[in-house]
């Protein structure tokens, strides 16, 4: 049902935690399934330099949260801002159709964290 990439992120989630004094925080919950992703990011200048994530919910949500941090750390903010759900899914191989909303939740957390920057 799930790819080896998803399984790997479940077994070894990356960058788990919450940054001390983050530049931005994105804490989002899917009201239907109650899955939650809380992403904290650090931005220096025009670069996203660090990120940590906490998540609760089904396997794809945990995997998305984990892989999201890998996709955004040490990247130009501009690039990070245009990260798509499809790219997240691709980095996990694929997700069952019914679990695509987990990837959306990840993007929502990212957007919320970036939105928080501009506050």
Partner 1 sequence: MRIYLDNSATTAVAPEVIDAMLPYFSEEIGNAQSVHSFGQRAKAAVERARRQVADLINSSATEVVFVSGGTEADNLAVHGVAEAHRDHGRHIITTKIEHPAVLSTCESLEQAGFRVTYLPVSGRGRVSVDDVRAAIGSDTILVSVMHANNETGTIQPIEELADVVATARERGASHLHFHTDAVQSVGKVAVDVKRLRVDLLSLSGHKIHGPKGVGALYVRKGVRLSKLMLGGHHERDRRAGTENVPGIVGLGCAAELARLQLGERQERMGELRDYLERQIAADVSDVRVNGDAENRVPNVANLSFDGVDGESLLIALDLKGIAVSTGSACASGSLEPSHVLQAMALTREQIRGSLRFSLSAYTTREEIDCAVAAVAETVNRLREMIPTDELSASNLALS
Contact residues: partner 1, CB under 8 A: 1-2, 6-7, 10-11, 13, 16, 18-25, 27, 34-38, 40, 54-59, 61-62, 65, 98, 116-117, 119
For partner 1, the closer CB: 35 or 88: 35
Of the two residues 11 and 82, which places its CB atom closer to partner 1 in the complex?
A: 11
State the minimum distance, in angstroms, from the CB of residue 76 to partner 1.
19
In the complex with partner 1, the residue whose CB is nearer, 84 or 94, is 94
Kindly report each contact of residues 5-11 with a partner whose C-beta sits within 8 Å and lies 24 or more positions away, as own/partner: 5/63, 5/67, 5/91, 5/92, 5/93, 6/59, 6/60, 6/63, 6/92, 6/93, 6/95, 7/59, 9/62, 9/63, 9/66, 9/67, 9/92, 10/59, 10/62, 10/63
């Amino acid at each position: 049902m799930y790819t080896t990439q998803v399984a790997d992120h479940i077994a070894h989630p990356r960058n788990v935690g919450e940054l001390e004094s983050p530049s931005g925080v994105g804490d989002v919950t899917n009201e239907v399934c109650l899955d939650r992703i809380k992403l904290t990011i650090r931005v220096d200048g025009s670069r996203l330099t660090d990120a940590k994530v906490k998540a609760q919910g089904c396997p794809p949500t945990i995997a998305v949260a984990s892989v999201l941090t890998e996709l955004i750390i040490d990247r130009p903010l501009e690039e990070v801002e245009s990260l798509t759900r499809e790219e997240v899914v691709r980095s996990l191989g694929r997700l069952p159709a019914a679990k695509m909303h987990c990837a959306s939740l990840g993007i929502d957390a990212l957007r919320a964290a970036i939105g928080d920057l501009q506050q």
